[in-house]
Copies of this chain bind each other. A is one copy, B any other.
Amino acid sequence: MTVASDKRRINLDALVIRFAGDSGDGMQVAGDRFTAGSAIFGNDIATFPNYPAEIRAPAGTLAGVSAFQVQIADHDIYTPGDSPMVLVAMNPAALKANIADLAVGGVLICNSDAFDKRNLEKAGYQSNPTEDGSLDNYKLYSVPITSLTLEACKDIGAKPRDAERSKNFFALGLITWLYDRPYQSTLDFIKLRYAKNPQVVEANTLAFNAGRHFGETTEAFESSFEILPSQLTPGEYTNLTGNMALSWGLIAASTKASLPLFLGSYPITPASDILHELSKHRNFNLVTFQAEDEIAAVGSALGASFGGAIGVTTTSGPGVDLKSETIGLAVSLELPLILVDVQRGGPSTGLPTKAEQSDLLHVLFGRHGEAPVAVVAAATPAHCFEAAIEAVRIALMYRTPVYLLSDGYLANGSEPFCIPDPEELPDISIEFATSPNKILSDGSEVFWPYLRDQDTLARPLARPGTRGLEHRIGGIEKADGTGNISYDPANHELMVRLRAAKIERIADSIPPLQVDDPDGASILVLGWGSTHGAILAAVNEVRKLGKKIARAHLVHLNPFPKNLSEILNRYETVLIPEMNTGQLAMVIRSTFLKDVVQLNKIQGIPFKVSEIKAALISLLDGGQL
């Protein structure tokens, strides 16, 4: 046996690792811990949890495989990586479902105990791939993880079934050693998380340490690796998923607006975690309400907005459809309302745990009549924080529903979030009406709920409880100014155009679109939403090849930044990668009459960097897509 110091330690600039196992194998926890340890160590990180179908499938089957991929690096990274360089497969099904993604030459760690006849059959293997040579393209390590875990725990008197549960920590320990990750934070975590069950703390600790020691002491691994801390902007960081960042953004917005937050929501994957997260923070000026359905969810949020709170509702997929009617009412009432859509694969129930960008046209146009709303889309998990504040700012300032788009990839993926100083977050408070705003010809002073601000076209908001400003609003067409019911044809046209103009006016308050174009390119990649990371990484790679590419990313989808037209005209070719059949492309074509090249992927999974890179290179070479 050799000691650790004898082994080689190799420096890596980045590492993509995927933990895969059965739903019950604790792979999400292992992945999470690995990420947290790396984050604290100072690496840049980006994660991609990939859950199985909604119901736990029978153990050992392909349908039950759960995976967690993370990229860690010593530099800025933008995605969880295209292909893992390391794959941990806890059983044959996990191997089968994931091996195709492993980079050739990659490290493959299999739990040999699980590769028995029954499991092999369940996964559809005729022979044992770890023995039949079919994995020769990879660096295969067969480790009896289950039995080593049991062995490690044998003295604490845990039942084998219980002790076996710690095998994810054995795997984590092994990887921790192999990639030289800090381990104390994981030991602390185990103590805290399982505090209620000391035997579990002990078992997990023993397994984790056994994994580390196994790496250090066996001869199987010739070398270990290290990834140095990255040069992120200095600051204090924490690792956030998109759903958490979005929740925190809403809390921050409520604080900075000095208004209560009201969340009306109905559970649905992958939006539910926003409800879960917000409901934990009832010590803030917020309340969460689990409604009977999505219609009641958005209805209650609208009622709360009428009462002067920031009404928010969160949903995904079919839930978005159900809110259309109430959003139309909110458009007519001109009340602030935040509509969070965490997009998932459709149509119908579709692919509930997967990501797609296929709701854009729906949120733009999916209401009867002419009912425009503002649309803001988050670009990365951490950006969900900022996007939430921006959505609330627009909603309050312009008294309008605002759609805030995220997707399943952002929602569950994570990255470091640089903790802001609350003082430096924008003040987004607004003024409510407290006194009459109109003097009638008879000299009486009255409150007109639709007497608009001439700059923003926003109407005054008088909260119930304000003495003397009693008034009624409703969904029937109303006269501008008084807000009284009006069936007058000319007034209707005026109101339709005013509501549209108000949304257009939002562009006055949003920053111009920034183009990242260091070299004066003729091709622009225009992205929106969660394609941000893959586009950025691909553009960087192409530039490393000495080629010119410009890049811009839209956060405001309605209205667009004012300079978008000018930017589009500056480029010969505009490429729009989207996880749909071309929804932004359609809007750009019709709005600017500018042809665009589409790159579409509709598979419920995000673009790989390489896919976008290939498209760019093809375009640069004058090819077609």
A binding-site residues for B, Cβ under 8 Å? 53, 63, 317-318, 320-322, 324-325, 328-329, 331-333, 341, 343, 345-352, 354, 356, 358-359, 361-362, 364-371, 474-477, 485, 487, 489-490, 492-493, 496-497, 499-500, 580-581, 586-587, 589-590, 593, 595, 601-605
Contacts and interface: CB of A to CB of B under 8 A. Distances in A.
A73 B333 CA distance: 45
Given A318-B328, A489-B603, A602-B497, A346 B359 contact: no
Given A349-B475, A351-B492, A370 B329 contact: no
Contact of A477 (B345, B359, B589): B345
B348 A602 contact: no
B371 A348 contact: yes
Contacts of A322: 322, 324-325
Contacts of A496: 581, 602
Contact of A370 (B331, B492, B581, B605): B581
A345 B366 contact: no
A531 to B, nearest CB: 16
A-B CB proximity, top 3 nearest: A346-B369, A348-B475, A489-B603
Contacts of A485: 53
Nearest to A349: B475
A361 B363 CA distance: 11
30 contacts: A53-B487, A321-B366, A322-B322, A322-B324, A324-B324, A328-B348, A332-B349, A345-B492, A346-B367, A346-B371, A347-B369, A347-B475, A348-B371, A348-B475, A349-B474, A349-B475, A349-B477, A350-B369, A354-B489, A356-B369, A361-B364, A361-B365, A364-B365, A365-B366, A366-B367, A489-B603, A493-B602, A586-B590, A589-B589, A589-B593
A269 to B, nearest CB: 12
Nearest to A363: B368
Contacts of A602: 370, 492-493, 496-497
A317 B369 contact: yes
B347 A370 contact: yes
Chain A residues touching B, majority SS:
mixed
Contact of A346 (B365, B370, B604): B370
Contact of A349 (B356, B476, B500, B605): B476
Contacts of A586: 590
A111 B341 CA distance: 59
Contacts of A603: 489-490, 492-493
A497 to B, nearest CB: 7
A343 B490 CA distance: 19
A368 B317 contact: yes
A331 B321 CA distance: 14
A362 B358 contact: no
A138 B345 CA distance: 64
Contacts of A477: 345, 349-351
A329 B348 contact: yes
Nearest to A356: B369
Contact of A595 (B332, B593, B601): B593
Interface hub of A333, A370, A602 (most chain B Cβ within 10 A): A370
A597 to B, nearest CB: 13
A257 to B, nearest CB: 26
Given A328-B346, A329-B348, A605-B489, A321 B367 contact: yes
Contact of A350 (B321, B332, B366): B332
Contacts of A350: 332, 369, 475-477
A305 to B, nearest CB: 15
